[in-house]
Structure 1
Amino acid sequence: MREMKDSGIPWLDKYPATWKLKKIKYCLQERIEKNNPVRTTEILSLTAKQGVIPYEQKEGGGNKPKEDVSAYRLAYPGDIVMNSMNILSGSVGLSQYFGCVSPVYYMLRPWNIKEEVRYYNYIFQTTMFQRSLYGLGNGILIKESGNGKLNTIRMRIPMDKFGGLFIPVAPAKEQKRISDYLDKICTEIDALAADIQTQIDTLEQYKRSVITETVTKGLNPNVEMKDNGIQWIGMMPSHWDCIRGKYILKYIQKPVREDDGVITCFRDGEVTLRSNRREDGFTMADKEIGYQGIDVGDLVVHGMDGFAGAIGISDSRGKASPVLNVLGTEQNKRYIMYFLRSMAYSDVFLALATGIRVRSCDLRWNKLAELFYPVPPIEEQDAIVAHIDSVLQKTNDVTTDKKEQLAVLESYKKSLIYEYVTGKKEVPAQ
């Protein structure tokens, strides 16, 4: 057991007596190279989940990059790239690419070429270090919402403040041993996590296939079928009707109450008050022109994001932008909801609708009203909904368990990184 000494830094606590404490600015230098004249049009992006990647590989979209990249900064392979607005949430990664990034990014590399950039990157990956950045300089403001949840307001962390922080610095040879070992262990953990994520994705696809198959084919595999001539429905039970939406659905506009909170229809199908999920990242309208009331049990279709599954039954009373279509029907609302989701899963809305932004479409009442819907007898609708609900509940239970496994693996990886880059554990002898 090697000798340890107190750092006087809460997040670090004790570190090896043979190591040094140094300010970041004396360990790493900032690369500030503008892409002017333009040397590359390869735009890089950074996320806590994916690290530094070409922008087109980014999951979930995000802010569209500028077409003029001359004001961007250059990033090189081996640079630590960090988002000055999102450092504490894990937006730090080691670049493997040459490209350009937004000016809000910092690029860092060791002053001493004998030192290991991976070691410093691992320090910045630790949750303990990231949490130590709360309140740094201009800081990250934390606002408490009405339901007690904490929401972050992003503010730029200046490099002079960041560079003044102390970090543990192992000898160069030990930095390499630590980095090599963590690369090996993290690769193994990431492989396990990727396998679990594949299982989750498979379950999600299974759920979608059950919904799509059941709302168009029913529960009886031996029933007589007919072709209704509608491409996205295909063969369906011969005793079912196929009816335009305007004959079975009603477009509803309800008044807003004074104490109504704002409701959002999310892409996972949940329709709920924003305060029940999150309030950061939304743009609030100065004037709520056209806002409408929504009641518990209302069927809601998002006019912009319905193509991605933002279709559900509201669990809350509140108000919403007119971009949400509120629908009433004498049919089983959950059956209609599941059918519309099946169309979203099959990209039917994208094929039918006029695009107004990337991976989106205008899905308003006039289009919902003209669509054809398979309409079984109401008792069959009820049975179909009960079956789908049951399948989804079982698969969701399994998915929840697997997501917990992912969280445990991620926590374990973070703790391992922390233990080794702070010297609390030594790399095992080879």
Structure 2
Amino acid sequence: METMKQSGVRWIGEIPSSWNTKRIKYMANLKGRIGWQGLTSEEYQDEGAYLITGVDFDNGGIDWENCVHVPMRRWEEAKDIQIQNGDLLITKDGTIGKVAIVSDMPGETSLNSGVLRIIPIEGYSRRFLYWVIKSDEFWNWFNFRNAGNSTIIHLYQGDFAEFIYTFPDYDEQEAIASYLDAQCGQLDDIINDLEKQIDISKAYRKSLITEAVTKGLDKTVPMKDSGVDSIGNVPLHWEVKDIKYISQLITKGATPDDISIIKDDLHPIRFLKAENIQNGILWQEPEFFITKSDSINLQRASLQDKDILFVIAGATIGKVAIMRNALRPCNLNQAVCLIRINKDQCPEYFTYALQSDITTVAINLLTVQSAQPNLSMGNIANIKLPVPPEDEQKEIYNYLTTQCAAIDEVINVKIEQLEKMRKHESSLIFEYVTGKKRVKEVQ
């Protein structure tokens, strides 16, 4: 066995004695669309040169069907980013660090400013570098480089030029790439299958909820048209009401200047954010706290038992949970609203109703073409929901609690399996691109 040596890089550790480390700027040319070219989305069109953006990266390749086009003069003026088959690309904006190797290019192609072209010089494999960038070798460097900065939204070309990685001779680079192509291809098939199973279970959960909160549990009762397309027919004796007519309070929180993750031992005031809210579940982690004076200023969002919490902004818009006394006292930030249901209603039922397709349709209609989707209190107040008699609300809640618990158990098992597979794949890639394991050992 070959002896090992210290790489001199803390996140790489030991490497084989025949391997080397260098900064990427010495092993590849980095080319991107420079600012003075001034390309804007107003120039996008249906014909012309293909333009690769960050959203076009798809499982290590490019989704050509969804690529926009730009005038041919834009392709001609930027020679350094006239893309060729086999080119290695990485995203610099949005979802940073997505990587792809270009293949099956259908015509002349260029890049927008959020994508970088990496052209390794002779002796350095772009296929090997592809796996390096997908590994923790890259991400440990990126996180170390940006330690303490929680607002990083860009991978600067100048910073990326300093990325240091380790490598063997060219033939072993190619052998490692071929090995990882095969092994990770099999793992990705398993991961994709698990993701589909989770999606199917989540869709079934939502359909079960939607059926129960719109049709009830007794399938023999006469029905009537609700007058709302997303609700359809409901039992004849049910009502359909705007949320504002079944609630005593609909309001949202606000964010004070200082939020601490360290609990005040004397007066801990918990501060809930969108991250704490999942479908029907209120998570205590991550923990945020505010001062007692800030809590007084946010009195309107001071939570009570059985208040419904509804995310009204951001990527998790529409997520719902219900407040329990165990978390009090606490307040909300501005991305979450509280709905305090009237005392003659069952809040738990409406927690499920807000997880149904009814709300999904309403959110899609209200946030269409919005780059940053968000809902106003007026939007929330005017969402229409089926309102059974209170005793039926409780029956439906009890039924859905039992049914959803069984589905959630299946989902959680699949999620756990998925995380294990992802960790295994991540570990496998890191071990081979840093020489902890060698391809020749498995051939």
Shorter-chain TM band: 0.7 to 0.9
The correspondence for 1:422, drawn from 412, 415, 434, is 434
- The residue type equivalent to 1:183 in the other structure is D
The 1:306/1:300 distance shift into structure 2, 3 A limit, reads: farther
- The residue type equivalent to 1:318 in the other structure is N
Q: Does 1:413 align with 2:436?
A: no
Q: Secondary structure at the match of 1:31?
A: strand
The 1:312/1:16 distance shift into structure 2, 3 A limit, reads: closer
Give the fraction of aligned pairs with identical amino acids, expressed as a percent.
24
Give 1:370 shift.
5.1
Give 1:116 shift.
1.5
2:29, 2:138 → 1: CA distance?
19
The 1:109/1:327 distance shift into structure 2, 3 A limit, reads: same
Q: Contact 2:306–2:348 at 8 Å: present in 1 too?
A: no
The 1:10/1:397 distance shift into structure 2, 3 A limit, reads: same
Instruction: Identify the residue that residue 27 of structure 2 maps to in structure 1.
Output: 27
Q: Please list, as runs of the form range in 1=range in 2, the aligned pairs for 1:190-269 lying within 5 A after superposition.
A: 190-252=188-250, 260-265=269-274, 268-269=278-279
Give 1:308 shift.
4.9
Q: Please list, as runs of the form range in 1=range in 2, the aligned pairs for 1:220-369 lying within 5 A after superposition.
A: 220-252=218-250, 260-265=269-274, 268-269=278-279, 276-277=285-286, 292-303=301-312, 308-315=317-324, 316=327, 317-321=330-334, 324=337, 326-329=339-342, 330-344=344-358, 347-351=361-365, 353=366, 355=368, 357-358=370-371, 360=373, 362=375, 364-365=377-378, 369=381
Q: Contact 1:30–1:109 at 8 Å: present in 2 too?
A: yes
1:250, 1:417 → 2: CA distance?
55
**RMSD of Structure 2 on Structure 1 (CA):** 4.3
- The residue type equivalent to 1:338 in the other structure is Y
Q: 1:344-378 CA deviation, whole Å, 9 max, x = no partner?
A: 45514434x4857258474534x555555432222
Instruction: Identify the residue that residue 11 of structure 1 maps to in structure 2.
Output: 11
Instruction: Identify the residue that residue 284 of structure 1 maps to in structure 2.
Output: none
Give 1:140 shift.
2.3
Q: Contact 2:89–2:117 at 8 Å: present in 1 too?
A: yes
2:229, 2:153 → 1: CA distance?
50
1:18, 1:176 → 2: CA distance?
16
Aligned residues, how many?
A: 394
The correspondence for 1:180, drawn from 178, 181, 194, is 178
Q: Does 1:100 align with 2:111?
A: yes
TM-score (norm 1): 0.74
The 1:30/1:349 distance shift into structure 2, 3 A limit, reads: closer
Give 1:304 shift.
5.1
1:161, 1:331 → 2: CA distance?
57
The 1:320/1:328 distance shift into structure 2, 3 A limit, reads: farther
The structure richer in helix per residue is: 2
Q: Please list, as runs of the form range in 1=range in 2, the aligned pairs for 1:125-164 lying within 5 A after superposition.
A: 125-136=134-145, 139-141=146-148, 152-154=150-152, 162-164=160-162
Give 1:179 shift.
0.8
1:306, 1:162 → 2: CA distance?
28
The correspondence for 1:124, drawn from 118, 133, 137, is 133
Q: Secondary structure at the match of 2:237?
A: coil
Q: Contact 1:211–1:338 at 8 Å: present in 2 too?
A: yes
Q: Contact 1:350–1:360 at 8 Å: present in 2 too?
A: no
Q: Contact 2:62–2:100 at 8 Å: present in 1 too?
A: no
Q: Which runs of 5+ in 1 are unaligned?
A: 59-68, 143-151, 280-287
Q: 1:396-425 CA deviation, whole Å, 9 max, x = no partner?
A: 222111111111111111222122222332
2:51, 2:228 → 1: CA distance?
43
Give 1:7 shift.
2.9
Instruction: Identify the residue that residue 109 of structure 1 maps to in structure 2.
Output: 119
The 1:4/1:259 distance shift into structure 2, 3 A limit, reads: closer
Q: Secondary structure at the match of 1:276?
A: coil
2:32, 2:351 → 1: CA distance?
52
